Amino acid sequence: MTVHALPVRHIDLSTIRTDTHPGDAAAFSIFWWKDLPLGMRASLPDELPFGEAQLRQFAAEYGAAQLAARSQALGAPLRATFEGRPKQALTLARLLGAGNLVGELDRLAGAPAKSAQDISVVICTRDRREALAECLRSVTKQRYAPGEIIVVDNSSDGSAEPICRRFLEVRHLHERRPGLSLARNAGIRASGGEIIAFTDDDVELHPNWTAEVVRAFSDQSIDALTGLVLPARLDTAAQRIFQLDMGGFGTSFIPLRFDRRFLEETRPYGAHVWKIGAGANMAFRRKLFERIGLFDERLGAGAAGCSEDSEFWYRMLADGRVCLYEPRAVVFHHHRRELPELRQQIRSYMRGHVAALVVQYDEFGDRGNLVRIFKQLPLYFLKSFLKGLLEGRRGRPGTLTAEIVGWTAGLQFLFRSSWRRQRAPQFSTGRGSP
């Protein structure tokens, strides 16, 4: 059945007993327990409204998953497996000692009351004025205001300035040299906070975002943070394909610690670092940049394509640092509306992905990166193609082709020796770094 639009709706399972959806149209439901995101699902009109028993079952299953991942009494926090999924730690003995689970869920969902003044929010933008205005509106409406908000304007003519002027607390910084990594690094150099949090110009923040970032970094063992990226809208075919067929920017609602062991386990096959999170929702301790350097300026939109974030995960995990994926830190991303835009995005993702694999290989000598380029990716293309043939999927028009074209374009970096000799820039603030 073809669906023409998929309105995104939010359901708080801690209060709602009855679903009032009229059942006349399809819907994409995102489930919450107060401000704690639980899960999401797409439904056809015939599947709506959800019955009371169905809602209770969602609450029980999603709630149990959150408790298992977050309640220390039940074995949390969870480490990530090879595949980037949680390793279960639940035992019957722990359950026998547990009581008032719903009360515990309420406690976990409670808003953190902390000042967010330690945070510098950095938003890189390039010629997307309207989206940027929406984004800044959400940044300035945080429950706990960040210490500073820096917009790095990567346009040639500084076109974001008039937008920034609308918001008193926003600093406008013009970085003329194109490239997302360059812009991000400029933002880091200009910032003053102990925690530097990034989001993109096509994103809107949940009002608790800064508070959740602060809460996550109150654990001193955490060096970096990624969060949940939910779809803001699923109105067009391109948006639905990106979210539902390609998995969007990740679909897990379970917090996970990614550490050196995750890297070591996956290294021989090309470490799956992109499963850690997305640049639209990430934050770092300033000290981490001082220790391992900045974003690699060969990567990212405007340069090789993307994956400046995942290359950074690779570098930090190899150095023994820890990244927490914390889905409580929520942003809403506006996916590309039109299919040509989506294909363009996929091409540059795949090109950037291959470039990052080359960079990682040069830096660390891990052959797994080459295995991924020459074995796993071609195998994935072949499988997707065969699957498409068998199932007659009309859902992914040209996206597989876009991936293959992007992969081919990425191979050029293997042959550019001067490109391959470059490294990510170092960072020193002159503030007495160790």
CB of residue 172 vs other proteins: minimum separation in angstroms? 43
Residue number, 101 or 292, with CB nearest to other proteins: 101
96 binds other proteins (CB under 8 A): yes
31's CB contacts (< 8 A; 6+ apart) are: 11, 13, 37, 38, 39, 40, 41, 58, 59, 62
Choose which of 12, 16, 21, 47 interacts with other proteins (CB under 8 A): 47
Instruction: CB nearer to other proteins: give 394 or 431.
Output: 394
Q: Is 34 in the site for other proteins (CB under 8 A)?
A: no
Does 61 sit near other proteins (CB under 8 A)? Answer: yes
Q: At closest approach, how far in Å is the CB of 239 from other proteins?
A: 15
- Establish how many alpha carbons lie within 13 A of residue 95's alpha carbon, considering only the half-sphere containing its beta carbon: 6
Distance CA 194, CA 181 (A): 20
Contact between 57 and other proteins by CB under 8 A: the answer reads yes
Q: Binding of other proteins at residue 291 (CB under 8 A)? A: no
The only residue of 4, 7, 10, 51 in contact with other proteins, by rule CB under 8 A: 51
Q: Which of 4, 10, 44, 141 binds other proteins (CB under 8 A)?
A: 44
Distance CA 51, CA 20 (A): 10
Sole binder of other proteins in the list 11, 43, 284, 296 (CB under 8 A): 43
Two tokens at 354? 């291959």
Q: How many CB atoms lie within 10 A of CB 52?
A: 12
Q: Which of 152, 162, 147, 214 is nearest to 187 (CA)?
A: 152
Of 277, 336, 248, residue with least CA distance to 28: 248
Taking the complex as a whole, how short is the minimal distance between the CB of residue 394 and other proteins, in angstroms?
Answer: 10
Q: How far is the CB of 134 from other proteins (least distance, A)?
A: 28
Give 67 or 124: the residue with its C-beta nearer to other proteins: 67
The one among 25, 90, 322, 405 contacting other proteins by CB under 8 A: 90
Q: How far is the CB of 92 from other proteins (least distance, A)?
A: 5
Q: Give the total of residues touching other proteins (CB under 8 A).
A: 38
Whether residue 425 has a cis bond before it, omega within 30° of 0: no
Candidate residues 41, 85, 416, 423; the one interacting with other proteins per rule CB under 8 A: 41
Determine if 145 is a binding residue for other proteins (CB under 8 A).
Answer: no
Stretch of 59-67, 246-254, 343-351, 424-432 lying at the interface with other proteins (CB under 8 A)? 59-67
Task: Tell me if 247 contacts other proteins by CB under 8 A.
Answer: no
Q: Least separation, in Å, of the C-beta of 1 and other proteins?
A: 6
Query: With binding defined as CB under 8 A, does residue 67 bind other proteins?
Result: yes
d(CA 314, CA 367): 14
Please state, as a whole number, how many other Cβ atoms lie within 10 Å of the Cβ of residue 135: 24
Nearer to other proteins, 49 or 425 (CB): 49
Report the interface residues with other proteins, using CB under 8 A.
1, 3, 17, 26, 41-47, 51-54, 56-57, 59-61, 63-64, 67-68, 74, 88, 90-93, 95-96, 98, 100-102, 105, 390
